[in-house]
């Protein structure tokens, strides 16, 4: 894994933020509840798109809706409203019967959410649930005015919902059903006119805010605090926590300003801990508020109008402060202040400003990761925690009505007698249902009937004892009258139950405190059934799956570790096919990220780590983001309980230091460790970028470098990564053994983004001598999408099986798959075969895959020519295996068209003239999310007596083709539509003969239902208002018109270039960054005075993840950040619309954001040229884009 890979892995992630605490806090001013009237700075939202009814855009940018007898008129915007914000519009019912409503926190299709309705005919306002129609609250509407405007506004702060009409608060209530969702408009029983809706919000996951000591104004550029003279402006949440973290991005507007973050504080912010950012003193200060006791300081230059990221962590008695000053090359991984203090164990979270104005953005506290909305505390005490959420003697539920479900969580019993579990099929108020419970005091897994208290089934921990402090993955599968409970990846119990439905799921804790993280509940219809989700290839429920790591077989289990954003994710299997996910095995630690590596079984306690027993040892690349080049080194972790928990070894000293020294940044990563039996030693291969270093050891802890291989003429294009090194017999002859060195290279055009390569040769115990000449490249897989392949250690019968990551460094995390990203190949068994060209690596899908076959279509002894009928016309499927033996005859090409639907298909075939196996995905489906996806990939392949043998594995989003008994392999991702389930066999140039052809349907290894569920989509439609004329897209990209205007999604730069040119101009537009949800990132650039391809231009670059707006003169498609004409730090955010204006006159360039001039410079690089719109790194959009020549 390289530095560029880290950038891609972490790009767009919500990094931890740190904020400072004000100085000595004066006596607390009277607090102003968040429900009080505020004056937020609203911004426009993307156009609401009609779902039902008739809608017309008005001249002022509003909407006119007509609802008839068939039901209400509903229109939805992609704009989201989450924890805290205000949504407003002027609403004018056109008759006494007409009802106008604001919709918020709604599903994309409007099936769920809230609505607040103005009903002048009944002289009331009404707040209700969209799905059920339940009314939460009503209030009288004073001064009924039919056909006159009402200024309607709804403010949300977590479950608190407040409604103002004409500036007066009329309604305030609390409801927990919906946490986030889209906003929109709704009309009933007639015609309603809406003025342009606007929204203001605070990006935070904290709720129950109370402000005092000054003004707090939300805007698209942060939550701005302006303290009263001599006072401290405070914003304090009702959220309380023990072990916690609080982060924020901040910008000081005044040199005298002091910004602060508080943890474990009280309702008046006079107790607890704080960290101050003090520009005047040039320092961060960590202190205990009561007594104003300094606990630590950090000297640093702090500038005004510059964005910083601050984070404070409180864990037990330790306090840590992190400080990030650079967003382009992120720093701040290590704490700059660490202190011990035990005065306060629990309290609230807060932010403050004193002595000047400060803006805060992305204010986030540690919290539970979950896909459920509407959590409600039913009993006990529940507090967010560094470990997720802490529950003590109580119940917490969320609405969930599907009876057939999969619930899972990572559960940590907190005490020796603690019980903690997942609740399912409970009633709406949390009573009844069942609980899949862990009991630490009894070492028991229990299924409890919560109505009667009966223990329906129980068992001991299936892998290790259930004990306090251990973290266990618990999964409950409820289908009909059956419930199965898995713990640590192993089924612990299964029993019959009587209750088949419920209205809520949740978490329960008893006999003290326990901790819950990654709580997910899914209907079986939603579980691993999304479009493109693999049927039988490994993928995560959520997260980014990449390099396989630490593949090992131990005590009857296959362990699959893999990269997930610099951590080792983990799954286990007993058959190489069905995998059970476990919690993250190796998380980030104080020494850095845990990049790729390997694992072995220390069967004889050679290391001395296992008290005379056996266990697993993992060797991983430790990459520290704050150090030069990451200062990569090899570190060790080990497990005594079959990989369920891990301990770090070595302290601050790595097992193998970076070869450049303790502070060096040399490329050094991806250690692969194996046993070298022939020389009675352990062997480690580590990548050095253009070479491999070999180390040996006799104790698994102390390593000595003995040689290296590579450099010079041996180096192939791209960076060498993820080496594997192992011996294999040639043609099964154990007396003739070759060593195989495999590696992956990327990311350069010469390798089409990525390549899987290998060498064969001899190993003498200290050095590797290859059979090939320098410069010779052997491909393990010729496809675009096979990378970082790694083999299992310790398989029975000396099998060598490996897995690869199915992706490419041209588009590593760009696949359009949503919450999950990345999948792994089928496991393949490796052998060596002596061919006419030399010894070659052969790979065949493992025989365990045969168990997935459910039914078979067979053809044999059939001649097929160019005009023949399709012998597979009746066969359909999206997940299957093909076995084929074809005699070419006079045909020049034979093949299969797979995943077909209208013009959509992927072709797998053999070119008899070129002697090549090929996969062509030019028409395979979605491909415009990146530049280099579509096309044809080939692998050299010879036939035997004119016969072609093929074995093809097809899944929802991949094709793996093997030819000549595994001597040729091509792996390709594809993204066809879910209805593309047809297939065909064809022959070109002559007649071929099908000797044997079998299509085996394959069962799913994850799904519990046999179908793919379509995604809930936002309403289609929209318009782009502009005078730019026709836009030409270059070099590629998916541009369309939707609610946000002219939008595009692309992983790199995509330009939409207007034919219009201008010298002096006034360019205005609304720009939108990212997608409807906060997880979808994206940035953009406005180009002018541009060349026809956009390579040379002035460029206004807005990137919310870099927190900066840059004006540059781009040349040949590139620009130097250090040579920017202007660089303006700004708290720009995802999911928000910004008005932008660019004014150029002569050599003067002015830029306005939200009506404020932010750039005024002169430059003469370009005098005239085209106008263009640019999107990069995700999704962005433009609306109301007009250019006026001056």
- Catalytic residue numbers? 547
Q: Specify whether the CB–CB gap between 361 and 235 falls below 8 A.
A: no
- Residue 909's alpha-carbon distances to 115, 896, 932, in angstroms, are 55, 6, 21
Owner of token pair 């980030």:
588
**DSSP structure string for 398-431:** EE---SSEEEEEEEEE-STT-EEEEEEEE-TTS-
Q: Specify whether the CB–CB gap between 1112 and 1123 falls below 8 A.
A: yes
CA-based R_g, the chain, Å:
31
Give the residue among 991, 960, 985 at the shortest CA–CA distance from 884: 985
Q: Kindly give, in sequence order, each residue whose CB lies less than 8 Å from that of residue 379, ignoring residues fewer than 6 positions away.
A: 393, 394, 395
* CA dihedral over 1179, 1183, 1189, 1190, signed as positive or negative: negative
In this structure, the number of other CB atoms found within 10 A of the CB of residue 680 comes to 9
Q: In angstroms, rounded to a whole number, what is the distance separating the alpha carbons of residues 107 and 76?
A: 9
Q: In angstroms, rounded to a whole number, what is the distance separating the alpha carbons of residues 976 and 434?
A: 40
861-877 residues labelled b (16+ CB within 10 A) or e (exposed): eeebeeeeeebbeebeb
Owner of token pair 């939008």:
1047
Strand bridging mode 853-864 / 318-324: unpaired
DSSP classification of residue 732: T
In this structure, the number of other CB atoms found within 10 A of the CB of residue 734 comes to 9
Q: In angstroms, rounded to a whole number, what is the distance separating the alpha carbons of residues 1074 and 65?
A: 28
Q: In angstroms, rounded to a whole number, what is the distance separating the alpha carbons of residues 198 and 202?
A: 14
* CA dihedral over 1104, 1080, 376, 165, signed as positive or negative: positive
In this structure, the number of other CB atoms found within 10 A of the CB of residue 151 comes to 14
Q: Hey, which residues does 389 pair with through a beta bridge?
A: 384, 516
Both tokens of residue 870? 């399709």
468-496 residues labelled b (16+ CB within 10 A) or e (exposed): bebbbbbbbbbeeeebbbbbbbeebbeee
Q: Specify whether the CB–CB gap between 941 and 963 falls below 8 A.
A: yes
Alpha carbon of residue 348 to chain centroid: 29
DSSP classification of residue 588: -
- C-alpha dihedral over 488, 494, 500, 505, to 10 degrees? -20
User: What SS3 string covers 204-246?
Assistant: ECCCCCEEECEEEEEECCEEEEEECCCCEEEEEEEEEECCEEE
Give the residue among 239, 285, 237, 288 at the shortest CA–CA distance from 259: 285
- C-alpha dihedral over 368, 373, 377, 381, to 10 degrees? 10
- Residue 1028's alpha-carbon distances to 333, 758, 1113, 1172, 1187, in angstroms, are 45, 52, 22, 9, 7
Both tokens of residue 307? 């964005």
Q: Specify whether the CB–CB gap between 275 and 288 falls below 8 A.
A: no
Q: In angstroms, rounded to a whole number, what is the distance separating the alpha carbons of residues 411 and 514?
A: 7
The SS3 call for residue 594 is strand
Q: In angstroms, rounded to a whole number, what is the distance separating the alpha carbons of residues 754 and 745?
A: 6
Give the residue among 409, 359, 406, 373 at the shortest CA–CA distance from 389: 409
In this structure, the number of other CB atoms found within 10 A of the CB of residue 321 comes to 26
């Amino acid at each position: 894994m390289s530095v560029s890979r880290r950038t891609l892995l972490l790009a767009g992630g919500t990094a931890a933020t740190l904020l400072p605490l004000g100085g000595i806090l004066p006596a607390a001013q009277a607090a102003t509840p968040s429900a009080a009237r505020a004056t937020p700075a609203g911004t426009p939202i993307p156009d609401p798109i009609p779902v039902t009814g008739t809608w017309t855009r008005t001249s002022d940018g509003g909407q006119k809706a007509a609802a008839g007898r068939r039901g209400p008129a509903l229109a939805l915007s992609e704009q989201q409203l989450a924890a805290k914000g205000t949504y407003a519009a002027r609403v004018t019912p056109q008759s006494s019967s007409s009802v106008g409503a604001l919709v918020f926190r709604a599903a994309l299709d409007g099936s769920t959410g809230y609505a607040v309705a103005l009903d002048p005919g009944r002289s009331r306002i009404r707040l209700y649930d969209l799905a059920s129609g339940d009314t939460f609250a009503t209030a009288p509407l004073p001064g009924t005015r039919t056909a006159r405007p009402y200024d309607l506004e709804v403010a949300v702060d977590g479950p608190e919902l407040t409604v103002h009409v004409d500036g007066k608060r009329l309604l305030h209530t609390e409801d927990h059903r919906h946490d986030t969702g889209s906003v929109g408009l709704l009309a009933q029983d007639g015609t309603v006119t809406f003025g342009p809706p606007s929204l203001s919000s605070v990006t935070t996951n904290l709720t129950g805010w109370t402000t005092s000591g000054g003004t707090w104004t939300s805007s698209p550029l942060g939550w701005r605090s302006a303290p009263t003279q001599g006072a401290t402006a405070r914003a304090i949440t009702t959220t309380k926590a023990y072990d916690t973290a609080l982060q924020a991005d901040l910008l000081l507007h005044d040199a005298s300003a002091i910004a602060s973050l508080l943890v474990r504080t009280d309702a008046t912010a006079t107790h607890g801990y704080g960290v101050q950012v003090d520009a005047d003193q040039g320092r961060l200060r960590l202190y205990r508020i009561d007594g104003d006791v300094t606990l630590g300081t950090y000297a640093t230059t702090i500038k005004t109008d510059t964005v910083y990221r601050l984070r404070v962590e409180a864990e037990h008695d330790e306090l840590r402060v992190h400080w990030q000053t650079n967003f382009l090359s992120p720093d701040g991984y290590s704490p700059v202040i660490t202190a011990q203090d035990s005065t306060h164990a629990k309290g609230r979270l807060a932010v403050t400003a004193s002595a000047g104005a400060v803006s805060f953005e992305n204010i986030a506290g540690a919290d539970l990761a979950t896909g459920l909305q509407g959590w409600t505390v039913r009993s006990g005490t529940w507090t967010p925690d560094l470990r997720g959420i802490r529950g003590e003697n109580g119940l917490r539920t969320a609405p969930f009505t599907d009876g057939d479900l999969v619930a899972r969580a990572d559960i940590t019993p907190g005490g020796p007698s603690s019980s903690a579990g997942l609740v399912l099929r409970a009633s709406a108020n949390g009573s009844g249902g069942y609980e899949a419970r862990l009991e630490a005091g009894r070492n028991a897994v229990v299924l409890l009937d919560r109505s009667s208290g009966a223990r329906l089934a129980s068992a001991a921990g299936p892998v290790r004892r259930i004990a306090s402090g251990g973290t266990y993955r618990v999964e409950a599968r409820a289908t009909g009258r059956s419930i199965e409970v898995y713990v640590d990846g192993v089924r612990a119990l299964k029993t019959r139950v009587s209750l088949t439905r419920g209205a809520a799921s949740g978490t329960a804790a008893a006999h003290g405190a326990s901790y819950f993280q990654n709580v997910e509940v899914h209907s079986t219809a939603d579980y691993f059934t999304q479009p493109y989700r693999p049927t039988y290839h490994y993928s995560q429920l959520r997260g980014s799956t990449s390099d396989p790591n630490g593949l090992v077989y131990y005590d009857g289990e296959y362990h699959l570790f893999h990269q997930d954003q610099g951590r080792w994710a983990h799954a286990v299997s007993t058959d190489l096919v069905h995998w059970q996910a476990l919690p993250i095995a190796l998380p980030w630690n104080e020494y850095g990220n845990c990049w790729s590596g390997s694992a072995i079984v220390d069967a004889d306690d050679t290391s001395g780590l296992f008290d005379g027993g056996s266990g697993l040892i993992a060797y991983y690349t430790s990459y520290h983001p704050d150090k030069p080049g990451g200062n990569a080194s090899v570190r060790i972790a080990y497990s005594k309980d079959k990989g369920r928990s891990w301990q770090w070894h070595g302290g601050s000293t790595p097992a193998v230091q970076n070869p450049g020294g303790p502070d060096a940044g040399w490329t050094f990563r991806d250690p692969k460790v194996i046993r070298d039996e022939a020389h009675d030693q352990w062997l480690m291969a580590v990548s050095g970028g253009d070479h491999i270093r070999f180390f040996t050891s006799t104790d698994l802890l102390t390593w000595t470098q003995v040689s290296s291989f590579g450099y010079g003429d041996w180096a192939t294009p791209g960076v060498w990564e993820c080496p594997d090194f192992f011996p294999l017999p040639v043609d099964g002859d154990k007396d003739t053994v070759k060593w195989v060195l495999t590696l992956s290279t990327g990311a350069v055009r010469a390798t089409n983004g990525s390549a899987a390569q290998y060498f064969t040769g001899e190993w003498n115990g200290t050095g590797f001598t290859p059979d090939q000449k320098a410069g010779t490249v052997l491909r393990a897989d010729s496809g675009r999408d096979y990378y970082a392949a790694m083999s299992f250690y310790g398989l029975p019968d000396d099998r060598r099986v490996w897995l690869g990551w199915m992706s490419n460094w041209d588009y590593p995390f760009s696949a359009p798959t949503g919450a999950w990203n990345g999948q792994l190949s089928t496991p393949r068994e490796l052998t060596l075969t002596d061919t006419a060209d030399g010894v070659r690596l052969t790979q065949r899908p493992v025989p365990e895959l045969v168990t997935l076959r459910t039914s078979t279509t067979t053809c044999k002894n059939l001649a097929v020519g160019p005009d023949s009928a399709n012998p597979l016309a009746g066969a359909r499927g999206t997940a299957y295996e093909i076995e084929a033996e074809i005699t070419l005859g006079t045909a020049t090409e034979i093949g299969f068209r797979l995943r077909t639907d209208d013009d959509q298909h992927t072709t797998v075939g053999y070119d008899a003239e070129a002697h090549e196996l090929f996969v062509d995905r030019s028409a395979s489906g979605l491909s415009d999310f990146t530049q280099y996806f579509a096309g044809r990939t080939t692998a050299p392949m010879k036939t035997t007596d004119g016969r072609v043998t093929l074995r093809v594995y097809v899944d929802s989003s991949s094709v793996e083709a093997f030819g000549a008994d595994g001597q040729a392999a091509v792996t390709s991702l594809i993204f066809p539509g879910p209805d593309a389930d047809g297939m065909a066999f064809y022959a070109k140039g002559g007649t071929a003969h099908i000797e044997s052809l079998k299509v085996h349907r394959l069962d799913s290894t994850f799904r519990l239902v046999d179908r793919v569920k379509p995604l809930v989509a936002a309403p289609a439609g929209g318009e782009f208002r502009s005078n730019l004329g026709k836009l030409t897209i270059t070099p590629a990209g998916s541009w369309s018109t939707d609610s946000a205007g002219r939008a595009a999604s692309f992983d790199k730069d995509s330009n939409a270039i207007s034919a219009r040119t201008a010298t002096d101009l006034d360019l205005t537009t609304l720009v939108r960054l990212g997608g409807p949800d906060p997880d979808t990132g994206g940035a953009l650039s406005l180009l002018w005075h541009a060349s026809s391809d956009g390579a040379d231009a002035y460029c206004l670059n807005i990137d919310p993840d870099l927190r900066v707006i840059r004006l540059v003169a781009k040349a040949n498609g590139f620009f130097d950040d250090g040579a920017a004409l202007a660089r303006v730090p700004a708290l720009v955010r995802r999911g928000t619309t910004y008005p932008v204006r660019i004014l150029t006159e002569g050599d003067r360039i002015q830029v306005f954001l939200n009506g404020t001039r932010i750039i005024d410079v002169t430059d003469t690089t370009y005098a005239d040229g085209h106008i263009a719109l640019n999107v990069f790194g995700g999704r962005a959009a433009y609306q109301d884009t007009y250019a006026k020549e001056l």
